[in-house]
Structure 1
Amino acid sequence: MPAHSLLLMLLQVGILLLLTRVLGGLAARIRLPAIVGELCAGVLLGPTILGNIAPSVSDWLLPASTPQFHILDAIGQFGVILLVGITGLEVDLALVRRRAGTTLGIAAAGLLLPLLLGLGIGAALPDSFVPASTSRPVFAFFLGVALCVSAIPVIAKTLADMNLTHRNVGQLTLAAAMVDDVVGWLLLSVVSAVAVSSQLGDVFWSTAEATGLVLAALLLARPVIRRVMERAARHPDGSRTVTTAVVIMLLSAAASQALHLEAMFGAFIAGLLISVTTSPTAARQLASLRQVVLAVLAPLFFATVGLRIDLSTLRSPTVLGVAMLVLAVAVAGKFGGVYLAARAGRLGRWEAIAVGAGLNSRGVVQIVIATAGLRMAVLTPTTFTIIVLVAVTTSVMAAPVLRIAMSRVEHISEEELRRADRTGLPTPEPSTNHGQ
């Protein structure tokens, strides 16, 4: 690497991390998800602001040369692979099994309706929103996948900040989000493989490869991972556990990429396997990895996403109109599907609204999918910006709607017992109101 390229890389990473810390902290203080501030760090240095105000400074700090940007992009890709792996670590499969019926109904409705609506919008958008190198069906399929996902990291953080994790609504939301995440990464892998070949006939083979990868992981890799993680956990300082987990995630991502699937799918499967095979000791040792990923690598990835966002495109009435349409369809599809399924599952009206608000948060997952679409040239920079705006807007919407809905859903005895078990606090007298 030339000396000047190294200098630029160090300056880029240092400045981006500083801005993500400052702006992420400001976002948290006004009760917004931290990723809003982290994205704004990239927007501030990208074409939206610095590129317009001081183009010469922007060209020097963030030159448009492909090799230089690839260096920063590679660091961001490393961060997002570990972020997705950490997300897999947080999945509680036992919770999904306990609430299987209601969970699957809500998850299925929250996936299918926005997926179908996204396919419809993708088929109807003007040609200017579709890359010339991508077929219309592939673009529509990708847009449907982007609109149907939910985001466990943002949902879990929002519920924790609002002290709702112990509530039945919180548990059900997390369980359904876990199912959505698994299916979402599977669909991303399928559409990624299709985008590479540009043949919809490859859907079957892509699905078969993804299913084969999951089965191989469960049947072959799971006992090996259990044994390796148990041996690593014997080291008292936890360094071997962290290194082993990172190696497993990276090799799983490489295997997924080698099968022409999305590398993040492999990382997610690796995180799932680690979560179900590690001991409590190993889980505690992995806390340091989670801290580094969430404090350094993930913010840097979101900042690099912000660098690609050009909000000046929204000055066009057509682009702004399409953005509002996609946002409305995304919210109506996810929230509407979840609400109807929750009511069919005998949840109260306000409980159904709360679950719908939680699952409507796309956050991290949709941003990752949008980034993959831009990298594969399935999305144009304009459609990429629109999808990221949908992700941020739906994440911001979740907390206030949850706050209003949950103020009308009173505690029941099961929730109070769960809270007491987790916090050690005495159990107050419960109410019998179930939010009906």
Structure 2
Amino acid sequence: MISIDEGNIFYLLLQLSIIFILTNLINGILKKINQPTITGDLVVGIILGPTILGTFFPNLYKAIFPQNLVQIAMLDTLSWFGLFLVLLSTGIEVDFSSIWKQRKNAMIISSLDVIIPIIFSMFFIYFLPNEYFEFSDNKFITTFFISVIMTISALPIAIRALREVGIMKSNLGFLIISALTINDIIGWIVFTLLLSLFSMKFFDWKIAIEIILYTGIFTFLALNLGKKIVNWLFSKVINQDSEGIQGVLAVLISTGIVFGLITLEIGIHTLFGFFIAGIVAGDSPIFTKSARNTVHNFVYSVFASLFFVNIGLKINFFENFNLLLSLFITLIGILGRYLGAWIGSVLSKNRKYKNIIAIAHTPGGEMHIVVSLIALSFGLLSKELFVAIVFAAILSSILVGPWLAYAAKSFKILDKLEVLVYPNMKIEAKTKDEAIEKMLEFVNLKDKKNYIIKNILEKEEEICSGLKNGISVPRGIVDDLEETKIIFAKLENPINWNSLDGKYVRYIFLILTSKKNEETQIAAVKKITQISKNCLEADELNLLNTTEELERYIKNYIAS
């Protein structure tokens, strides 16, 4: 009988302490230069694993990471549990109810961003030399599987890039997030189905149809009946505990485990169950932003790092790295995803923003690494191809930020812009709805006021306009508005706006624009987001004491 002794626990604690110290150190540096922390996690794994430590200091490597089954299994178990939580957290970021309202345009973009990259990638990958497919009995199936992996875009990476550029809170930002989210859902469904079908020892149409049918039924029931049950459970634990966070976390993880067991039973990967559980929980109004941030910080500061470090501990990247293959996979992946989203944008009548939308779909990120690792564990990828996909995921994630920032320079404030400051600058309101209504009364839009309020509040439900440092940018569309209006007000008493940093809102920039001048809205949101990132610039708003000073400052800053 194999058992765990104190020696195993000692080595596990030693490994974890070294991993967490190094990942915190490297990721702290990467955050300062706005790079994804997944890069740091993999670098730590490469340093501590067979690639560097195992090659140059083999005795030290064996001393820290004994190569016995029990010790390896302990770290592997923690890593896989971490991956389950990563998928749970990824699902939480999906606001399914809001995204469903954008389904028409977002679905067109997402569908083409799945179909076109598969066709595009297969055409080129299939003609790679046979030496890259020596592990496979069927080159066509392997090529198809790799192409499916390359369709999934990295939602967390894209969100970070959109926030950095400053267009996350615009209507365009919401469309991009909606399309990427649907891409995630479609990609995971296709991937898990194919994984189940390809892992069968022999193909059986009856089993294949059953898996597809059960997957559809499970997804439908989870997003409808499951959502009601989880919301009811959340309400029960909140009533029993004023804080609620412990009970909410217990319900969240329990839902992930139950859904994971169900998906495993019907023949698809457990990870899909955790992903759907995250979507279901994230759609609950009781699952607050504070609880979401707690889950996200806990998962990504501990478990996500552990999983990606463990990849580097298992594979010698020097031995399996092929520069030409890695660059080829990177180029094909980026071009395929860009082309799919570009064509989808044109067909969904978003021609003006096709380049921005397409760029946001190019990063591979953590999901590429996750799905390719699963494929590797099932014997559907060689280590050389796996390393190439990891390289492509990291490089595409690094490139998307600067590329998006360069493309976003095209958004410029148009001439027709009016800045208004609320009378006496300050407004008294207890809720965001009341504040927005009072600001619209000042603009005097007469019979259109109720329609515009509804339009603004619907957009607030879709994507909260709260930024950092007490600033919000609610926005509305007024069809026949000749010039874009930005109405500014200081709140007498700050309001909870569910902002990114959790701070209450003190300053409101209400943006009203027509559909034809929507580019001005995007540019204005971008500029105001820059103010919100800088504490000194945000505080400067409080130092301006007259209406004229505020109007001049806002107009000069936004138009600059």
**TM-score of the pair, normalised by structure 1:** 0.90
2:397 corresponds, among 395, 398, 420, to: 395
Is 1:207 the counterpart of 2:212? The answer is yes
3-state SS of the aligned residue for 1:425?
A: strand
Structure number with greater Rg is: 2
Equivalent pair of 1:314/1:320 in contact (CA under 8 Å): no
Which residue does 1:24 correspond to in 2?
27
Which residue does 1:276 correspond to in 2?
283
Is 1:97 the counterpart of 2:100? The answer is yes
Pairwise CA distance, 1:280: 5.2
String of CA shifts for 1:62-98, please: whole Å, max 9, x gaps.
2344442222121111111111111111112233223
| Structure 1 range deviating more: 177-186 or 369-378 | 369-378
Equivalent pair of 2:94/2:282 in contact (CA under 8 Å): yes
CA spacing shift, 1:279–1:324, aligned 2, 3 Å = same
Equivalent pair of 1:361/1:391 in contact (CA under 8 Å): yes
3-state SS of the aligned residue for 1:114?
A: helix
Pairwise CA distance, 1:306: 2.6
Is 1:354 the counterpart of 2:356? The answer is yes
1:251 maps to a residue whose letter is: V
Equivalent pair of 1:110/1:148 in contact (CA under 8 Å): yes
String of CA shifts for 1:416-435, please: whole Å, max 9, x gaps.
99552366432479793738
Higher helix share: 1
Mapped to 1, the partners of 2:384 and 2:221 lie a distance apart of 38
Pairwise CA distance, 1:330: 0.6
Equivalent pair of 2:320/2:383 in contact (CA under 8 Å): no
1:236 corresponds, among 206, 224, 242, to: 242
CA spacing shift, 1:334–1:198, aligned 2, 3 Å = farther
Pairwise CA distance, 1:57: 1.4
The within-5 A match list for 1:30-429 is: 30-130=33-133, 132=135, 135-200=138-203, 201=205, 203-234=208-239, 235-237=241-243, 238-279=245-286, 281=288, 283-313=289-319, 319-349=322-352, 351-410=353-412, 418=465, 419-421=472-474, 424-427=507-510
2:276 maps to a residue whose letter is: I
Equivalent pair of 2:368/2:390 in contact (CA under 8 Å): yes
CA spacing shift, 1:347–1:220, aligned 2, 3 Å = closer
1:434 corresponds, among 490, 509, 519, to: 519
**Residue-pair matches, total:** 431
3-state SS of the aligned residue for 1:197?
A: coil
CA spacing shift, 1:142–1:63, aligned 2, 3 Å = farther
Equivalent pair of 2:155/2:184 in contact (CA under 8 Å): yes
Equivalent pair of 1:130/1:378 in contact (CA under 8 Å): no
1:92 maps to a residue whose letter is: D
- For structure 1, the 5+ residue unaligned runs are none
Mapped to 2, the partners of 1:126 and 1:68 lie a distance apart of 38
2:235 maps to a residue whose letter is: E
CA spacing shift, 1:276–1:302, aligned 2, 3 Å = same
CA spacing shift, 1:314–1:30, aligned 2, 3 Å = farther
Pairwise CA distance, 1:309: 4.4
Equivalent pair of 1:189/1:265 in contact (CA under 8 Å): yes
Mapped to 2, the partners of 1:206 and 1:385 lie a distance apart of 30
3-state SS of the aligned residue for 2:182?
A: helix
Mapped to 1, the partners of 2:225 and 2:10 lie a distance apart of 45
CA spacing shift, 1:425–1:222, aligned 2, 3 Å = closer
String of CA shifts for 1:316-339, please: whole Å, max 9, x gaps.
xxx322222211111111001111
| Structure 1 range deviating more: 81-90 or 425-434 | 425-434
The percentage of aligned residue pairs carrying the same residue is 21
Mapped to 2, the partners of 1:181 and 1:296 lie a distance apart of 23
3-state SS of the aligned residue for 2:150?
A: helix
Higher strand share: 2
- For structure 2, the 5+ residue unaligned runs are 418-455, 466-471, 475-496, 498-504, 523-560
Pairwise CA distance, 1:156: 1.6
2:312 maps to a residue whose letter is: G
Mapped to 2, the partners of 1:198 and 1:278 lie a distance apart of 44
| Structure 1 range deviating more: 199-208 or 227-236 | 199-208
Mapped to 2, the partners of 1:220 and 1:134 lie a distance apart of 42
**TM-score of the pair, normalised by structure 2:** 0.71
3-state SS of the aligned residue for 1:148?
A: coil
Equivalent pair of 2:376/2:382 in contact (CA under 8 Å): yes
Mapped to 2, the partners of 1:427 and 1:105 lie a distance apart of 30
Pairwise CA distance, 1:288: 2.0
CA spacing shift, 1:199–1:156, aligned 2, 3 Å = farther
CA spacing shift, 1:325–1:286, aligned 2, 3 Å = closer
1:320 maps to a residue whose letter is: L
3-state SS of the aligned residue for 1:408?
A: coil
3-state SS of the aligned residue for 1:277?
A: coil
Mapped to 1, the partners of 2:412 and 2:97 lie a distance apart of 25
